[in-house]
């Protein structure tokens, strides 16, 4: 399986490249990035034979599959070009910067007959898989409420970099890390259809270079910050369920957490990061119980690796991925609605 990678940044180095390299029969044959030195360095270190500045040139190589790992505003263009060139596509989150772009990506995948998989790596966590199995067994009953989020004390991913520019990222903390919590919760709730959203966004740290520094990410002096550093929303679904979502890159809290709380009629669940923990709360014969999930996974089988392995298996077996382009569009519709609601100061239909 001949793979090309579009973008030579952090997530490629951390997840995509090592992931593909671990799977027998998969070869990363090309990488592209307009910052040639970055692509060249990654190619030299990893024995990648072809380096390009423009992904259109790379797509002439007749690749089997492509990872799209560029700033969010370029996902749609790169993914559509790759699909049109006959490649299967694994696209990083968020799918794009709007649902309309996501719909075009799905249409391109349908037309080409190729796979479009979303890089929702949290679905591939061992604790997620364990919890999903329990939920699918029916043990939670009706899940009618969820609270989830990814909140950081200090973690603006490079103030002034593309991450903090609306034109490149489509938004801030919400579209960058809130997207993970949102997708994971929808997935665990059984993908209910969102109907209305009430959202709010803030930028109380990002715009002030003297505040909210630290954590990680490389700041770019004088760079633009015109996105949210905190967002929250209430989402109402057509089955009567609701969820509350929170996302922040910087806020006065104790420490960073990604969390999902699910409340069902028969049981509830709590997934926490930092430290990682998944628990189930229930009641049986009047006895209130807590169960801790011990999710077994072979060492090195991280969520990112498992996601890449799933993509490769889907390509090889001609199977639809479990994090599909359609799932990406549903998430984008909600994100669009949250941003619109925040702007209008009123609830909006999804």
Ligand X SMILES: NC(=O)c1ccc[n+]([C@@H]2O[C@H](COP(=O)([O-])OP(=O)(O)OC[C@H]3O[C@@H](n4cnc5c(N)ncnc54)[C@H](O)[C@@H]3O)[C@@H](O)[C@H]2O)c1
User: Given the structure tokens 């930028």, which residue do they identify?
Assistant: 203
Number of residues in contact with ligand X under rule CB under 6 A: 23
**From 26, 30, 33, 243, residue interacting with ligand X (rule: CB under 6 A):** 33
**Least distance between ligand X and beta carbon 280 (Å):** 26
**Cβ burial, residue 309 (10 Å; 0-12/13-18/19+):** middle
Contact 114, 81 (CB under 8 A): no
> Which span sits near ligand X by CB under 6 A: 3-11, 102-110, 196-204, 214-222?
3-11
**Least distance between ligand X and beta carbon 243 (Å):** 21
302 binds ligand X (CB under 6 A): no
**From 4, 7, 19, 160, residue interacting with ligand X (rule: CB under 6 A):** 7
Please name the residues in contact with 275: beta carbons below 8 A apart, sequence gap of 6 or more.
none
Within residues 162-181, the interface with ligand X by CB under 6 A covers: 176
Within residues 220-279, the interface with ligand X by CB under 6 A covers: none
Token representation of residue 8: 């030579």
> Which span sits near ligand X by CB under 6 A: 28-36, 106-114, 220-228, 293-301?
28-36
From residue 67 to residue 96, the character string flagging contacts with ligand X as x (rule: CB under 6 A) and all else as - is --xxxx-x-----------------xx---
As a whole number of angstroms, the distance between CA 106 and CA 111 comes to 9
**Least distance between ligand X and beta carbon 153 (Å):** 19
**From 17, 26, 30, 32, residue interacting with ligand X (rule: CB under 6 A):** 32
- DSSP E strands, 139-294: 143-151, 194-202, 230-237, 242-248, 257-264, 267-272, 277-284, 287-292
Q: Which of 260, 334, 319, 257 lies closest to 94 in space, CA to CA?
A: 334
Q: Which residue is nearest to ligand X (CB)?
A: 9
Dihedral pair phi/psi, residue 259, rounded to 5°? -145, 150
34 binds ligand X (CB under 6 A): yes
Please name the residues in contact with 37: beta carbons below 8 A apart, sequence gap of 6 or more.
none
Nearer to ligand X, 70 or 105 (CB): 70
- In a 13 Å sphere around the CA of 60, the CA atoms on its Cβ side amount to 6
**Least distance between ligand X and beta carbon 93 (Å):** 5
Contact 329, 101 (CB under 8 A): no
42 binds ligand X (CB under 6 A): no
As a whole number of angstroms, the distance between CA 340 and CA 99 comes to 13
> Which span sits near ligand X by CB under 6 A: 63-71, 232-240, 313-321, 334-342?
63-71
Residues that bind ligand X (CB under 6 A): 6-12, 32-35, 38, 55, 69-72, 74, 92-93, 119, 121, 176
């Amino acid at each position: 399986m001949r793979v090309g990678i579009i973008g030579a940044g952090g997530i490629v180095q951390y997840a995509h490249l090592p992931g593909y390299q671990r799977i027998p029969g998969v070869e990363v044959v090309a990488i592209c990035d307009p910052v040639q030195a970055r692509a060249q360095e990654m190619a030299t270190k990893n024995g990648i034979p072809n380096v390009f500045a423009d992904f259109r040139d790379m797509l002439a190589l007749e690749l089997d599959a492509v990872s799209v790992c560029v700033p969010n505003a370029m996902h749609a263009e790169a993914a559509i070009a790759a699909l049109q060139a006959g490649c299967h596509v694994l696209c990083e989150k968020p799918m794009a910067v709007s649902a309309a772009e996501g719909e075009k990506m799905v249409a391109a995948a349908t037309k080409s007959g190729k796979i479009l998989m979303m890089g929702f790596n949290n679905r591939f966590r061992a604790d997620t898989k364990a919890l999903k199995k329990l939920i699918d067994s029916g043990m939670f009953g009706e899940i009618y409420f969820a609270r989830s989020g990814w909140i950081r004390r200090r973690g603006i991913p490079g103030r002034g970099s593309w991450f903090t520019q609306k034109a490149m990222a489509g938004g801030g903390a919400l579209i960058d890390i809130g997207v993970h919590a949102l997708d994971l919760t929808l997935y665990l709730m059984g993908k209910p259809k969102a109907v209305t959203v009430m959202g709010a966004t803030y930028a109380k740290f990002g715009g002030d270079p003297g505040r909210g520094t630290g954590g990680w990410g490389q700041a770019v002096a004088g760079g633009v910050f015109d996105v949210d550093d905190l967002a929250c929303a209430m989402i109402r679904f057509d089955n009567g369920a609701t969820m509350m979502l929170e996302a922040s890159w910087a806020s006065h809290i104790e420490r960073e957490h990604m969390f999902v709380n699910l409340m069902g009629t028969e049981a509830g669940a709590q997934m926490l990061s930092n430290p990682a923990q998944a628990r189930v709360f229930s009641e049986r014969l009047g006895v209130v119980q807590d169960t801790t999930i011990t999710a077994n996974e072979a060492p090195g089988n991280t969520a990112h690796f498992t996601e890449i392995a799933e993509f490769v298996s889907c390509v090889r077996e001609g199977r639809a991925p479990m994090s599909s382009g359609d799932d990406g569009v549903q998430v984008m519709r909600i994100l669009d609605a949250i941003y619109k609601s925040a702007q209008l100061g009123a609830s909006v239909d999804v």
